[in-house]
Amino acid sequence: MTYSWSPSGDVSNSAIAAPTAVVNSTTTFVVVVSDGICTASDSVTVRIFEFACDEPDIFVPNAFTPNGDGNNDVLFVRGRYITSLEFKVFDRWGEKVFETTDQAMGWDAMYKGKPVDPAVFVYWLKVACEGGQTYFKKGNVTVIR
């Protein structure tokens, strides 16, 4: 079998079955395979998406249901490439009811050992991402019971 990958300059070896490639922009690779009698070709497109330390790559739901059913019981900051964060939740009087710097730690709608009443809470989020980008947002989240 012979293989011919193109663009050949973007792959480690254009004459092998499974070369490696490092791409910085969306690229379509074409391979032509021949056994000396028959020839076939195929292609694959590798799409590159820019990551932004911003929405929608950083996400905080606007509501959650801490009712113990195992679905949406805890409010988490969602996002990849986050290197550090500060997440604070306040009640309508401005009292801090939750705070974390650990993305794996979410708010279970408890305050001082008791469940909070259904209400709208305000959050403050500051994030640093890989590459030095930062993100800041103030928003609301509704506790639904």
The segment(s) of the chain belonging to CATH 2.60.40.1220 are 58-143
pLDDT tens, 65-90? 999 999 999 999 999 899 999 999 99
Please give the average per-residue pLDDT across 40-54, as a whole number: 90
Mean pLDDT of all residues belonging to the chain: 95
Please give the average per-residue pLDDT across 79-105, as a whole number: 97
pLDDT tens, 113-123? 999 999 999 99
Task: Specify the pairing of strand 134-143 against strand 63-64.
Answer: parallel
The confidence score (pLDDT) of residue 48 equals: 86
CATH number for the domain running over 58-143: 2.60.40.1220
Residue 109 contacts residue 66 (beta carbons within 8 Å): yes
Confidence check: pLDDT of 49 > 80: no
Amino acid at 38: C
pLDDT tens, 23-36? 889 999 999 999 99
